[in-house]
Structure 1
Amino acid sequence: MELTTLFKTPNPVIGVVHLLPLPTSARWQGSLSAVVERAVQEAVALDSGGVHGIIIENFFDAPFTKKSVDPAVVSAMTVVVSRLRQLVTLPIGINVLRNDARSGLAIAACTGAEFIRVNVLTGVMATDQGVIEGDAHNLMRYRRELGADVKVLADVLVKHAAPVGALPADTALADAVADTIHRGLADGVIVSGVATGQPPSREDLARAKAAAGATPVLVGSGATVGNIAGLMQSADGVIVSSSLKRWGQIEQPIDPNRVGQFVDALAF
């Protein structure tokens, strides 16, 4: 996949809209209009700040299910994405946490969103939701059934998780990248730190880039104004949220000034 084709730039900044709690989640507040309003504000802030794409994510639905989300979550996210499609022209992606890639693909196919993020596409990961198994086989068959030209960006050794089984430390990341691309058919891979807000090491990014070949590698967490130039020396793009929030606090809304500063820092 050529990032320039999708994002109109070879090194895209992809901002994340963390949706307020959705229906049936533990912290649902009872107002879908409030969810939509907050999402609109954040998407517009990202757009005005100069990002090249947006991911819509049910981040505040934690604690997440490791299985399929409730149909009400799918419906709510579809409503949000449909509204955002009317307001911004940026490419939009979907991430249905914790790992409901099938629902993400369905939302994308029905709303015209261009890509999805999948936390576990291949392999087996031990997470705070329990053991999650990748299911690339069924996801890619479903994409074909839908006839949807939706790109799949897949995490490799995703954050807040550990791989099940003993893997040689010096080859684990490279092997996982190769499997995700060649056996999982991912269009791009994402490398993160161990948790939200923590960056991957430049060494890990370099290993991933070497293993990925022509497939794009994106930074998936922890990017800031101070470190983005260094991280991008071994990456093709970045997914960012925490450092774009007001005061850098994850619970706060997106700050358009911080977005602009981040995008400017990438122009090295």
Structure 2
Amino acid sequence: PTGMNCLRNDAHTALGIAAAAELDFIRVNVHTGTYVTDQGVIEGEAAHTLRYRKALGVDHGANRVSILADVLVKHASPLAPLSAQDAVKDTLLRGLADAVIVTGAATGAPVDEVLLSEVREAAGDSGLVLLGSGLSPDNATLLAPHANGAIVGTWLKEEGRVHNAVDATRVRKMAEAVRGLWRVNEASKR
């Protein structure tokens, strides 16, 4: 699947691009709730995003653009105390996201296994949970049982640095490490 994320939290633009380019998903860093970030306070706009997706005609059927939303997103802190369980429930049940994304504290930082386990439990068997940062060949088998897949970027770059070029050797290592870890099913392809 191919998707779009417009940083820091521009779901509107991401949806427009995804609809025009016939992409599968958008990633929204703050879909629900309010977070304090180095860019200022960011408020989720789930209702607006859902209405816009419907207006674009990409809310159902073959042209559907799924919404993958971070919970307790990296480089941010919730404005008020928020448990992983509440963040997941708000994102999936109130924000109607198609999947939740769990990250470490920063770009490339590994996901905390306890947090990931809490998110998996809160999402239930039918909720899609994706790793959003820090996946490596060294931790893939440890984290995979708690997730349905991963978004990988930084580890694939030369020396694992986000601004470097993609390293083909690292890509091959990652592909070998994750091959067979996740089943692709109809729910994960929506």
The verdict on a shared fold, with TM-score over 0.5 as the criterion, is: yes
| Counterpart for residue 186 of structure 2 | none
Pair 1:150 & 2:62 matched: no
Could you tell me which residue of structure 1 aligns to residue 141 of structure 2?
A: 229
SS in 1 for 2:108: coil
Shift of 1:215: 1.4
Structure 1 or 2, whichever has the larger Rg, is 1
1:209 corresponds to 2:120: yes
Specify the alignment match of 1:127 in structure 2: 37
Identity %: 49
Distance 2:53 2:156 in 1: 32
Q: Does 1:183 align with 2:94?
A: yes
| Unaligned residue ranges in structure 1 (runs of 5+) | 1-90
Name 1:16's counterpart in structure 2.
none
Question: Aligned partners of 2:161, 2:39: CA distance in 1, in Å?
Answer: 24
Following superposition, which runs of at least 4 residues in structure 1 exceed 6 angstroms of deviation?
none
Task: Measure the CA separation in 2 of the matches of 1:142 and 1:129.
Answer: 24
Bigger shift: 176-185 or 194-203? 194-203
Which residue among 141, 152, 159 is the counterpart of 1:240?
Answer: 152
Number of aligned residue pairs: give it: 174
Q: Identify which of 17, 26, 35 aligns with 1:107.
A: 17
Amino acid at match of 1:255: D
TM-score (norm 2): 0.89
Secondary structure, aligned partner of 1:240: coil
**TM score, norm. by length of structure 1:** 0.63
**RCO greater where, 1 or 2, for CA within 8 Å and sep 6 or more?**
1
Q: For the residues of structure 1 that align with 2:121 and 2:78, how far apart are their CA atoms?
A: 21
The CA deviation string for residues 134-182 of structure 1, in whole angstroms up to 9 with x for no partner, is 0000100110111011000000011000000134xxxx01110011000
Q: What RMSD in Å do the two structures reach over aligned CA positions?
A: 1.0
Q: Which residue of 1 aligns with 2:188?
A: none
Residue in 1 aligned with 2:165? 253
